Amino acid sequence: MILDETNHIFKEKTDICIIKIKDHMEKRGVDVLKDKRISKSTAFTAEEKEQMGLRGLLPYAISSQDKQKQRVIENIRRKESGIEKYIFLSALQDRNERLFYKTVMDYLPELLPVIYTPTVGEVCQQFSHIYRIDKGFYITPEDKGDISALLDNWPEEDVRVIVVTDGSRILGLGDLGCNGMGIPIGKLSLYTAGGGIRPEYCLPVMLDMGTDNENLLEEIMYLGYPHKRLKGAEYDELIDEFIMSVQEKFPKALIQFEDFLTPNAYKILHRYQDKVLCFNDDIQGTAAVALGGVYSALRITQQSFVDQKIMFLGAGSAATGIADLMVKALVQEGLKEEEALQKLWFVDINGLIVKSTVGLMSHNLPYAHDHEAMGFVDAIKDIKPTILIGASGAKGVFTAEVVELMSSINKRPVIFALSNPTSNSECTAEQAYTWSKGQAVFASGSPFAPVHYDGQVFIPGQGNNVYIFPGIGLAAISVEAKTLPESVFLVAAAELARQIHQSDLDHGTVYPKLTNLRTISFEIAVAVANHLYDLNLAKLEKPRNLRTHIKNMMYDPSY
């Protein structure tokens, strides 16, 4: 049977409207202004002021949301530092949620670096010092056995997306413990702004297992669990209790794992990905956005994906996640798995990863080829990669020698410096274009300004996971997905590449404009949702018009 989505959508929207009307009727005066979900501040009309007991509590003039938005952006631009801008926006989110999201959506290229990378790195480092209002949920080892009951304390009953971290590997900054909560908060604001997922559906979670960062343990202002990190069976048991408690309390929720230390990231993903609705953004989201960028880059170089030889600098969860997805993509294009693996090479801090390399983790083993050991530069000379991808977290390791060498091997070398934040990037956009004499096809993890070189204007693309996870999340909740298989991320990568325009490629850009993020997320959601129906992984019966169904689920913060 095919679901008639018109009645389903009408009921959902009607229920939301009833809730809003009920809120308006029950609250009056300052209580209206203190409720971030219903407050419009100076946008309340004269009639609304009368009905809600707001006369005298607001200035006389009535501002449109557009005028309010202009006031917000003017104030943000007066702030001198990224963290000051972040604190200002966070305060706005706490008092007028719809204005916050409207401003972020309409100024996304300008504000994305504020609410996420690179500013979020500094936010996490300073989290215990700039803490203002509670925005997330915290679980510690002392809560073992009580997690299910604890989740009852969360004010929303219908949670659909959870971003969870244990703070053990925040961006390229390492173990930040409880301070890593800035990551789930930032990611979920992008689920709403970029993917249209209602903010009340979102739950940021910090699994505060302690920290091995001695500086934090000695810091008097630190807000986290002040003990060494939980490890081994006790760690696994707490993770398992959290996952099972979510299934009980929020059975429709997608769980996104974020910034876990590589061994735990893989262990958790492999344990749960076929059992519950979940994915790891560092492994799978990064992989999809990188693969999508490579597909676009090859439109510039006019080469086939199966003809590429790809070298990674860095062998952690991000890099191997990209490689794993690329293997599946190459197999999809007709190669045998053994042939696909031979096209992917890794270099870590000890040099080229080969069969004789000691101490490899399980996720590195498929890429340990029968080859002599050598350093990074010698590996480039010997293997002659067409694509170089940095996920090392090491600033400046793509030196002039490296870029010039890649340019001597390739007419148009593809160089992705994906490490975050900006301070950890393997090279800057200006360095890549200058050292390659304008021949590099460049992308980075953090944003870089356009580069003028030899009469050309290059606009470096930012390989930000925000291109992927909002659309996948929207698809998952729109069809009430059971699980997210690896093929979902191949579908998302291909759809992302389809969203790039020739005018962008002409400037060397391999990712579409962030101003189109809502449209990009929507198209990815439609493609992924259709794929989930094809795999019989959707609980919700398929609507007659899937595009309309998904479009009508997207949150609109306008008032």
Out of 40, 85, 187, 328, which one is annotated catalytic? 187
197 contacts 190 by C-beta, under 8 angstroms: no
Gap between the Cα atoms of 283 and 324, Å rounded: 9
3-state secondary structure 149-216: HHHCCCCCCCCCEEEEECCCCCCCCCCCHHHHHHHHHHHHHHHHHHHCCCHHHEEEEEECCCCCCHHH
Which of 135, 209, 114, 126 has the alpha carbon at shortest distance from 169? Answer: 209
Starting from the edge strand earliest in sequence, which strands make up the sheet with 414-417, in order?
351-352, 344-348, 310-313, 387-390, 414-417, 441-444, 461-462
Task: Assess whether 187 carries a catalytic annotation.
Answer: yes
Q: Are 462 and 444 in contact (CB under 8 A)?
A: yes
- List of long-range contacts for 356-362, beta carbons under 8 Å, 24+ apart: 361/262, 361/263, 361/266, 362/266
Torsion of CA 146, 149, 154, 157, to 10 degrees: 140
CA distance 152 to 249: 8
Helix (H) / strand (E) element for 476: namely helix 469-479
* Token pair for 410: 């390739």
- Structural contact between residues 79 and 85, judged by C-beta atoms closer than 8 angstroms: yes
Whole-angstrom CA distances from 64 to 74, 349, 460, 493 are: 16, 55, 36, 38
Q: Which of 86, 101, 102, 116 is catalytic?
A: 116
Q: Are strands 456-458 and 387-390 parallel, antiparallel or unpaired?
A: unpaired
> How far lies 36's CA from each of 149, 195, 218, in Å?
26, 20, 36
Rounded alpha-carbon distances, angstroms, from residue 122 to 102, 203, 352: 24, 22, 32
Pairing label, strands 278-280, 254-257: parallel
Catalytic residues: 116, 187
